[in-house]
Amino acid sequence: MRRGFLPQTKGKKAPPATKKRVLSKGQEETAETVLTPSSPSEDSMNQLLITAALPESGGDVCECLLFPETLDMLDNLRGFPYPMDQPLLPAYRITRIEGKGLAMVSTRFIAMGDVIMSERPLIIVPAQGILDSDCCEVSINRNEGPLSDAVNRMLPENKAAFWALHNCHKDDGRTDAIAGIMLSNAISIGGLPPGHTYMAVCDHVSRINHSCTPNSYPVFHVPSLSYRVFALCDIAAGDEITWQYIDIRPSAAERSKALEPYKFQCTIAAFEPSVLPWAVFNRHLPDDWLINQCKQNLELLRSEKMWERCYHKTLLKLMESYICLGDAENASLWARKLIKCRWQPEKEQDESFENETPSAVRKIPPGCPFTLTMNGVNSGANGRPAFSVTERGTEELRPAPYGKQKKIVVPEGYGSTLKITEKDPLSGSDPNPDSMTCTTMPQTGDTIDERHLTECLFFSGSKEVLLSIAGFPHEMQQPSEAAHRVGPAGDKGLGMFSTRLIGAGELIMSERPLAILPRGMPTPVPPNFTQKQAMQLAMDEHEQMCAIAVNRLLPEAKAAFWALTNTHKEDGSGPIAGIMRTNGIAAENLRPGVQSAMGIYSAVCKEISRMNHSCRPNTQPVFHPASLSFRLYAVRDIPQGEELTFAYTNIQMPAGHRNRALRPYQFTCRCSACLNAKLSDKRRKKIAGFAPDVRSWAADHTLTDDWLIVQCREQLERIDSEGFEADEAYYDALKTLMEFYLCLGDAENAAVWADKMEQCRWTTRRFDSSSATLQKLSLK
């Protein structure tokens, strides 16, 4: 949270002059096309916010301004609202501290990890365009109407508490009273879909003062619609309870600058412990090097009373270091300390190779999403939140229409007028966040094979992700001997088949997509449109933009694109979107900072898109950004002549759910798992619910030495019966067995399971810290 101090947005640069360069075969390259949508209506957002008092039953009511999708999610949450988690004995009081005003102070000893208090906010409102823009005061004041309505709806005691909060913007002459209190006291909220960020103001949590050495941390708990404040360390009776308003991990100079308005100084240096460089890239370092570094950092953290993320990460690395060394006793010691860090996520992937890390892909869910944005994507000056009608994958997002639909007529005169600008293809993306860049990738060297070019329609920043990869584009990997063919597959149409025996983990083929297209894009929607008209307008806009990229394809690639199946001819989709919805597979990690569904592109391939579905897939495609290609791996041994398949949907779901998810593809799966659904569903439920954890086993001395190995072997038997090797559950079981033997000091058996892990080239889990364990083992 940032209280009262707002980031400034830099001005945008003009695009460079148009240039042309020559590709191989003397062909002139088409300049990039930048597409900028028209400006939206000023008053659109207010039409989409719903004012609600939640929960509808019980006390502690919170006034909310929510988007419809968020309200639907809460309404459908089983058991909502959950009871708030409160300590047995009160642990704090609000009192006045000289020089700070009101503050929260402990009234008794509070142990690290204990819940200090839980509180439902007074009010929850959208945050987009409020905290992210240099013009946020204008945005808030434009929403002063709905904000004041929500405040006026509060119960008298809640309204009094709201107006009693501090307002550090009352003298700036730009911000109204309600907006000033929101900016001074708001705390961000995560976990409320669909991709929106909210801010909340509380009676007591908003009274907690800042410290660069905080001793508490608030966590928003969606099912109870409340904040839980956890103790980051032991807190003595009478100590002030504090948390940080800024990120306390940057350099001392950056922290000092950010804290100038508060007159705080921070002396601790940032520390990022990493098992991977110690175990793999710096093999000359002694076994105890990382352990000593971590212990030194713990001393610094304790002296600075800095208990948040860095503390948890250091404990985690200490435990993993001892696991690498096969020291079960010390690993168990640090595992028990980790369990106390209840304010941290239970599972956290600490190491990620951004841009260069392949991502295991899935079929783009059939209801290709279209985002209806009232004012573009984080659109600078106006910056109002986006209303999205997007698909939720299996559960969370509303799907676009499919099947035979009644034709929706969009009134004439609506829709954006695209501004098309030609750019030098060697330059970066257009800096305008409302613009999209249509470009041909890759664009380096004169030896590029024109058969392996991809037309891309990118949001701002995606092109830079690729160009920042050292050596881009990397060469596409191919097997030494051809392993597949495309041919007739009976009533399925075309399919892909093995032409020889393919071993588990073997690369079958690599392919650069014909096109990489956005799953949706910002679309201005008039406030008087119905939901169906808004969806149809967004689909029309999406088709119009994607057509620019497809029309740039070379003749052979264009023919391959149009030859693909289209199962969306009667649901309002255009022909390009229909082919994309039918054949697209996910291309992730190309939009920095975007974690929602809009951060995933849809890639259409010539051959991989021909592969048919199975709930027992024998392959898994992996997107590799560094080569801008998909690598197809065998997840188990595949005999010659067998059809190559991968899963279009989540195979952990029951058979009935899977076939409902497959309806947009206009077929019903007839694999053995679907034909024998009762037995298969029972096994798959056990597979999905199994959570092997060396930490818990190492910390619980009541469990026998072979307890975990028995559990994992039973899991592997279920996986084999279900053909479930493509799922992450398979890799998790192998990893647990390897770590289990390491903890017992049995390097020989650990090596057996490490070798099986190494074959799982399709899973991104190989790139977390467990890969370091594997490498460290190989040195023994």
Q: Which residues contact 764 (CB under 8 A, 6 or more apart)?
A: 357, 358, 359, 360
CA distance 241 to 233: 11
pLDDT band at 610 (very low <50, low <70, confident <90, very high): very high
The secondary structure of 58-109 as a DSSP string is: SSS-EEEEE-HHHHHHHHTSTTPSPPP---SS--EEEEEETTTEEEEEESS-
Which of 42-46, 56-60, 753-757 shows the highest mean pLDDT? 753-757
pLDDT band at 369 (very low <50, low <70, confident <90, very high): very low
CB 664 within 8 A of CB 568: yes
Sheet holding 101-106, edge to edge: 92-97, 101-106, 240-243, 209-210
Calculate what percentage of the chain has a pLDDT beyond 90.
28
What is the rounded average pLDDT for all residues in the chain?
75
Calculate what percentage of the chain has a pLDDT beyond 70.
68
pLDDT band at 634 (very low <50, low <70, confident <90, very high): very high
- Alpha helix positions (H), 368-491: 462-467
The answer to which of 69-78, 127-136, 315-324 has the lowest mean pLDDT is 127-136
What is the mean predicted confidence (pLDDT) over 341-354? 42
More confident residue, 81 or 374: 81
For residue range 419-429, list pLDDT tens digits in order: 666 666 767 77
Helix (H) or strand (E) holding 259: none
Instruction: Examine the pLDDT at 394 and tell me if it is beyond 50.
Output: no
The class (CATH top level) of 359-665 is mainly beta
Instruction: Examine the pLDDT at 14 and tell me if it is beyond 90.
Output: no
CA distance 115 to 118: 8
pLDDT band at 190 (very low <50, low <70, confident <90, very high): low
CATH number for the domain running over 67-248: 2.170.270.10
Instruction: Examine the pLDDT at 304 and tell me if it is beyond 70.
Output: no
Report how far Cα 103 is from the mean position of its chain's Cα atoms: 35
Q: Which residues contact 156 (CB under 8 A, 6 or more apart)?
A: none
pLDDT band at 541 (very low <50, low <70, confident <90, very high): confident
Q: How much is the pLDDT for 686?
A: 93
The single residue listed with the structure tokens 């008209």 is: 533
User: What φ, ψ does residue 544 adopt, rounded to 5°?
Assistant: -60, -45
Instruction: Examine the pLDDT at 595 and tell me if it is beyond 70.
Output: no
Lookup: tokens for 249: 């991990």
More confident residue, 447 or 112: 112
The answer to which of 380-384, 470-474, 623-627 has the lowest mean pLDDT is 380-384
Lookup: tokens for 771: 């890969």
CA 582-584-590 angle, to 5 degrees, is 155
CA distance 727 to 738: 18
CB 372 within 8 A of CB 535: yes
Query: By C-alpha distance, which of 133, 137, 154, 156 is closest to 65?
Result: 154
Helix (H) or strand (E) holding 313: helix 309-324
pLDDT band at 140 (very low <50, low <70, confident <90, very high): very low
Which of 79-93, 593-607, 673-687, 763-777 shows the highest mean pLDDT? 673-687
Lookup: tokens for 564: 């693909």
Q: What type of residue is 427?
A: S
Q: What type of residue is 538?
A: A
Q: How much is the pLDDT for 397?
A: 37
* Beta strands at 484-488 and 494-498: parallel, antiparallel or unpaired: antiparallel
CB 9 within 8 A of CB 380: yes
Instruction: Examine the pLDDT at 337 and tell me if it is beyond 80.
Output: no
CATH 2.170.270.10 placement within the chain = 67-248, 359-665
Q: What type of residue is 85?
A: D
The answer to which of 131-140, 248-257, 499-508 has the lowest mean pLDDT is 131-140
More confident residue, 260 or 368: 260
What is the mean predicted confidence (pLDDT) over 482-498? 95
Q: How much is the pLDDT for 5?
A: 27
What is the mean predicted confidence (pLDDT) over 704-720? 91
Q: How much is the pLDDT for 17?
A: 38
Query: CA-CA-CA-CA torsion for 194, 197, 202, 206, nearest 10 degrees?
Result: 150
> How does DSSP classify residue 281?
I
CA distance 769 to 395: 30
CA 697-700-704 angle, to 5 degrees, is 70
Query: Exposure of 704 by Cβ count < 10 A (0-12 exposed, 13-18 middle, 19+ buried)?
Result: exposed
Task: Work out the number of other CB atoms within 10 angstroms of the CB of residue 520.
Answer: 26
Instruction: Examine the pLDDT at 706 and tell me if it is beyond 70.
Output: yes
Instruction: Examine the pLDDT at 604 and tell me if it is beyond 60.
Output: yes
